Amino acid sequence: MSMDERQLPEEVRESVEQAWPLFVDFLKKKEARITQARKIVLTQVFMRHDHFCADDLAAELSSGPNHVSRGTVYRTLALMEEAGLVRVIRDTDVHAHYEHTFNHPQHEHMICDQCGQFIEFSDEQIVKLIAKACSAHGFRERTHRIAVFGICRTCAGGA
Amino acid sequence: MSMDERQLPEEVRESVEQAWPLFVDFLKKKEARITQARKIVLTQVFMRHDHFCADDLAAELSSGPNHVSRGTVYRTLALMEEAGLVRVIRDTDVHAHYEHTFNHPQHEHMICDQCGQFIEFSDEQIVKLIAKACSAHGFRERTHRIAVFGICRTCAGGA
DNA sequence: ATTACTGCAAAGCATTTGCAAATGC
DNA sequence: GCATTTGCAAATGCTTTGCAGTAAT
């Protein structure tokens, strides 16, 4: 329960010191509470260099002095995402989506947050730039996937 | 069990007539069998205009003359993906991945099929082009996600 | 005849949720 | 003190799997 910040690596402490006030503001605006558990989760997030999965984080916090339950970790991560402090880079939608590729050239998708509609678009330039980035990194591309999230014209304009 | 093709809409029948032989070739190379169930699933895939989820497809085939079990639908979809006839546009990886956004500007990812490593890259041009595509579609972007799948330099070069 | 595939139902597994106890305000 | 959170464990829901029967080669 202590959340003793003196034990944190320097750069982690720095990030936490900057990010925590932002989360506090967000929570206040939402009229939600500032709790120990939320601070512990936020701190643990910044302990990770980059990518992590919710479940690993939950496992790390499942024991020890800074114990936070699995459910709370998931709930807090959702809040942090809403606050813009964390980004989902690979999600598990309720289920997998497919499309057939036959007579259906590569294209990308915009997905409406509100109605869930998929809008297809394609851009040769983008495809080329991705290929370029790959060769710059010595990465052999098999396929790529672009998803843009936001609000579609209908949902934005209408009712 | 009949798979009576005379009842299929014209353009569906056409796609199936072209795609099925490709799947047959793929299965032969793999020394797998050409089965009724596999043809039914393939046909059903082409009945869908574009996006569909595995579970819906399974539901559609769970009764009626062209009955195929849920397990088989999932197994066949995996084969069709391997054959390149279908593309996953939104997947359920084992679990969700996150990253913090604080002091960590927007960037994209290359994900190695073999070692699972995430390689970060960013390209201002791509971001601009996506924004442009969005405004062309009247889509209000909240965020986007690019994932490139393939083989990383280490896995390609080494052992 | 073999051997792979299918169907079924049960198991897996990350994530979510209900509820009583705890904590922040 | 009152309302939100938390922890726990049970539920959820998509997907996978084991196994016995069935179909393809």
Return the SS3 of B75. Answer: helix
Nucleotides of D under 7 A from a protein CB: 4-9, 13-18, 23-25
Return the SS3 of A150. Answer: strand
pLDDT per residue as tens digits for the range B109-134 = 898 888 878 898 999 999 999 999 99
Cα of first residue to Cα of last residue in chain B, in angstroms, is 48
Please tell me the distance from the alpha carbon of residue B59 to that of residue A113, in angstroms, as a whole number: 25
Determine the average pLDDT of the residues in B48-62. Answer: 87
The amino acid that residue A106 corresponds to is Q
Please tell me the distance from the alpha carbon of residue B5 to that of residue B138, in angstroms, as a whole number: 40
**Token digits of residue B86:** 């279908």
Q: Do B142 and A149 touch (CB under 8 A)?
A: yes
Report residue A88's pLDDT band, with 50, 70 and 90 as the boundaries.
confident
pLDDT per residue as tens digits for the range A24-68 = 999 999 999 999 999 999 999 999 877 888 888 999 999 889 999
Contacts of A96 (CB under 8 A, 6+ apart): B53, B54, B88, B90, B91, B92
Beta bridge partners of B121: B108
Q: Do A92 and B92 touch (CB under 8 A)?
A: yes
| Antiparallel, parallel or unpaired: β B108-112 and B140-151 | parallel
Residue of B nearest to A131 (CA): B148
**Residue A32 CB lies within 7 Å of the nucleic strand D:** yes
Report residue B92's pLDDT band, with 50, 70 and 90 as the boundaries.
low
* Domain architecture of chain A: domains with CATH: 1-104 (1.10.10.10), 105-159 (3.30.1490.190)
Q: Do B53 and A123 touch (CB under 8 A)?
A: no
Please tell me the distance from the alpha carbon of residue B26 to that of residue B29, in angstroms, as a whole number: 5
- In angstroms, the CA of A140 and the C1' of D2 are apart by 59
Report residue B2's pLDDT band, with 50, 70 and 90 as the boundaries.
very low
Report residue B1's pLDDT band, with 50, 70 and 90 as the boundaries.
very low
Return the SS3 of B97. Answer: strand
